[in-house]
Amino acid sequence: MKPSPTMLALVTDAFGGRGGIAQYNRDFLGALAETGAVSSITVRPRQAPDLFVLPERIEQTPARLGWIGYSIAALRTALFRPVDLVFCGHLFMAPLAALITRLKGAKLIVQTHGIEVWRRPSWFQRAALEAADLVLCVSRHTRSAVLSWAAIAPERVLVVPDTVREAFTPGDGSTQRAALAIEGKRVLLTVARMDPRERYKGHDRVIAAISNLVAKGHDICYVVVGEGADRIRLEALARDAGVSERVRFLGRVGLQSLVEIYRMADLFVMPSTEEGFGVAFLEAMASGTPALGLEVAGARDALADGALGTAVSEAEIPVTIARLLAEPKPDPGALAAAVRGRFGRETFAAGVRAALNRLIEGT
């Protein structure tokens, strides 16, 4: 019987990292380790600001933020360890991953997420991706974008969407409502970074809709979870619109608080125009809260083309929020079960294992 391969993972962040890409890397690498698809994984991150616990079969080296130092450390790690597979967690790192793959005679997996591959990249990045044995995409939109510029066989480019953590389940959100003193209000929620480079997330579109919703009789409170320098601009937008008392910026919160915040919301809204996938949609719906997004890019996959959440055009956002708030909230348990049936960890692990088997078997 052929032994399970060893893997070197070059990632921006994974264990101890923040955000959707870090979570995907943790889920993907964890699924490989848990299913025994690989014998060991050495993770080389660029950053890891938070404490973490590693699953069995996974080792993570200290973070190295500077690109030159990171590249040297990654090459040193590869030279002194057996490496059968190289996992590249971001297109930016693909040239380095491709070099290590050639040096070790290994196979290369390149993970793609969203906007980093929606436009034609540099020659070096394109050549590295085209040399990959397997390219993984989190959505159909991202796969289509890759195939639009990469000279690569379509069968080597697979969609393996995000999964949702087991912590996100339906429950009582009244404690959080009481803590925020928003009992009796209709709560809209967005969970997303507020990065000036990521204004496509759509916080400003929700803020712009609040006055109209209040005029229609909805006692709105818009709760925003996340951190970033664009918060100052969004706070100013709320003041200028005369709704600052209805917008609550909570910053970054812990996992248990986040679960309770999802549960307390009447509607999760993230009208993002450039979402690679949008794992926050899954977290909200798995917590029993309906979700609304735009019918563009990767959000269509997370919302299952409207089968799980609501996907509309940008112009329809205000009227759709009003309509959904006026309708009875869907059964939380049924919504959560539907989300897990499509995006739960078992389904995700099976997809990861199938992708690796295709690579190893060369089919």
pLDDT tens, position by position, 306-356: 999 999 999 999 999 999 999 988 999 999 999 999 999 999 999 999 999
C-alpha span between 319 and 308 (Å, rounded): 19
- pLDDT tens digits, 138-155: 999 999 999 999 999 999
Q: Report which of 150, 162, 181, 73 is spatially closest to residue 343, judged by C-alpha positions.
A: 162
Same domain, yes or no: 178 and 284: yes
H helices of the chain, in order, are 20-35, 67-79, 94-104, 115-118, 123-130, 140-149, 174-180, 203-215, 231-240, 255-264, 279-286, 299-302, 317-326, 332-343, 345-361
348 & 311 share domain: no
Task: Indicate the SS3 state at residue 15.
Answer: coil
Strand partners, 9: 43, 87
For the record, the structure tokens of 98 come out as 């491709």
169 in a domain, yes or no? Answer: no
CA 82, 87, 93, 99 dihedral sign is positive
Does a structural domain hold residue 1?
A: no
Q: Is 163 exposed, middle or buried (0-12, 13-18, 19+ CB in 10 A)?
A: buried
Q: Which residues of 97-108 are buried (b: 16+ CB within 10 A; e: fewer)?
A: bbbbbeebebbb
pLDDT digits (tens, 9 = 90+) for 190-213: 999 999 998 999 999 999 999 999
Residue 363 reports pLDDT greater than 50: no
pLDDT value, residue 35: 86
Please tell me whether residues 133 and 181 are part of one structural domain.
no
Q: Is residue 321 part of a domain?
A: yes
For residue 17, report the phi and psi dihedrals to the nearest 5 degrees.
-95, 175
Same domain, yes or no: 259 and 148: no
Please indicate, yes or no, if residue 280 is contained in any of the structural domains. Answer: yes
**What CATH number has the domain bearing residue 140?**
3.40.50.2000
Q: Write phi, then psi, for 329 (nearest 5 degrees).
A: -65, 135
- Which contiguous run of DSSP H or E holds residue 8? strand 6-11
pTM: 0.93
Three-class secondary structure of residue 268 per DSSP: strand
Number of domains in the chain: 2
| One domain for residues 260 and 192 | yes
Residues 27 and 121 grouped into a single domain: yes
Report the percent of the chain where pLDDT is more than 90: 94
Cα 121 versus chain centre, distance = 21
Q: Which amino acid does the sequence have at 189? A: L
Residue 152 domain boundaries: 6-163+344-361
Is the pLDDT score of 231 beyond 90? Answer: yes
Check residue 362 and give its pLDDT. Answer: 64
Whether 89 is in a domain gets the answer: yes
Q: Is residue 251 classed as helix, strand or coil in its secondary structure?
A: strand
Shared-domain flag, residues 92 and 15? yes
pLDDT band at 1 (very low <50, low <70, confident <90, very high): very low
